[in-house]
Structure 1
Amino acid sequence: MAAVFVSHRLADAHAAERLAVELRWHGHEVWLDEWEIGLGDSIVEKMDQGLTRSTYLVLCYSAAGSISPWMGREWMSALARQLDGVSVRILPVRLTGGTPPAILADIKYADLTVNWAAGVAALCAAIR
């Protein structure tokens, strides 16, 4: 299946992990910071490895906001890779409200606020 990087704010860690578990259940290889970055690891190195290996970046945004410094680096990295011709897709996911970054506003998002299961199903359908 696909390699998926889940980008989220610290405030949304619980919901992001729930989503990551469901994506794994559907057979995808999921990179989630809580699972991949251990004590003493270089955060930047681990993020770079995860982003480089991923063909999908799931950008989770919420009422807590859509941009944190780390998330910004993650989705901007994916966008730069797209511009360089690398096959990576950014898939926005609305966890609890909020709006995506303006530059990504035209990309259809999976809405988990109304119906979690339907939103996850839509996300899984987009991940090939």
Structure 2
Amino acid sequence: MNRNGMANVFISHRKVDVSDAERLAHDVSAAGHAVWFDEWNIAIGDSVVERIDSGLDGTSYLVLCYSSAGIAGPWISREWMSTLHRQLEGCGVRILPVRFGGAAPAILADLRYADLSVDWDIGLAQLLKAIR
């Protein structure tokens, strides 16, 4: 949590899902949460690794967006795998899966997800309820 009692939320996504991920980032931000989104937080000339690392460092929730493109990819994989490791080590961080389409990856099969592919508003409301 940040000083205002709102959560620090990291939006993790594949590049192919950037438009849906940015819409989601705007919606979560509009609900009052501090959102880390790569398109907003990594400027020309920045170290990508350094910016992602600092974003993950203060995160309460990693929103893992997936579609038929899955969750395999060099950046998204490092983001959610390192967050899962931190969670298993007892750090106060949670992974919240969000479905834009496709099937849930096997490693997330036991986690309930917010389904934005069927009804964006209902899925968003479920996600925001999980972010406390």
Measure, in 2, the Cα distance between the counterparts of 1:103 and 1:65: 11
1:61 counterpart = 2:66:
yes
Which among 98, 113, 117 is matched to residue 113 of structure 1? Answer: 117
Aligned counterpart, 2:3: none
Query: Runs of 4 or more off by more than 6 Å in structure 1?
Result: none
SS of the residue 1:91 aligns to: strand
1:89 counterpart = 2:94:
yes
Matches within 5 A, 1:1-128: 1-95=6-100, 97-128=101-132
Measure, in 1, the Cα distance between the counterparts of 2:108 and 2:115: 15
The amino acid across from 2:118 in the alignment is V
C-alpha offsets along residues 59-116 of structure 1, whole Å, 9 cap, x if unaligned? 0000222221211100101111011110000000001x12233222110000001100
Measure, in 2, the Cα distance between the counterparts of 1:124 and 1:54: 15
**Residue segments in structure 2 that go unaligned for 5+ positions in a row:** 1-5
Say if 2:14 and 2:73, in contact at 8 Å, map to a contact too: yes
The amino acid across from 1:105 in the alignment is A
Measure, in 1, the Cα distance between the counterparts of 2:29 and 2:17: 18
Measure, in 1, the Cα distance between the counterparts of 2:12 and 2:104: 13
Measure, in 2, the Cα distance between the counterparts of 1:33 and 1:126: 22
The amino acid across from 1:71 in the alignment is I
Q: Paired residues, what number?
A: 127
C-alpha offsets along residues 14-73 of structure 1, whole Å, 9 cap, x if unaligned? 100000000000000000000000001000000000001110000000022222121110
Aligned-pair Cα RMSD in Å: 0.8
Q: TM-score, normalised by structure 2?
A: 0.93
Say if 2:70 and 2:105, in contact at 8 Å, map to a contact too: no
The amino acid across from 1:114 in the alignment is V
